[in-house]
Amino acid sequence: MPQATVLRGWILAEQGQEKKGIAQMRQGLAAWRATGAEIGSPWFLALLAEGCGKAGQIEEGLTVLTEALTAVDKTGERHYEAELYRLKGQLLLNAECRMRN
């Protein structure tokens, strides 16, 4: 099940195994998309962006969030939109903090 693969990857990233978790989330997303499904994509992409942030992959996380926001506009699936913007703000803040240090 693609959804389970995404969630398992997110859990791995949360447990500090970011690289492995990101790979699993990407695998699950690819399988999800292969079914032609679009509903749920913003949430799955948010989980991936969060994992990228934990791994220090700020630019990649921002790219994933742009994709998620595009999916929101395409599908009208707005229930997770505020969280996407919160994550975007968090990634931008993390990027700013890195630049200052």
In angstroms, the CA 37 to CA 29 distance is 10
pLDDT of 97 reads: 82
Give CA–CA dist 27/5, Å, rounded. 7
Cβ atoms of 67 and 29 within 8 Å: the answer is no
Counted residue by residue, the chain has a size of 101
pTM (2 decimals)?
Answer: 0.92
Q: Report the sign of the C-alpha dihedral through residues 38, 7, 58, 32, in that order.
A: negative
Please give the pLDDT value at position 89.
95
pLDDT lower than 50: segments of the chain: none
Per-residue tokens: 61: 């996380």
Per-residue confidence (pLDDT) for residue 30, from 0 to 100:
95
pLDDT value, residue 54:
93
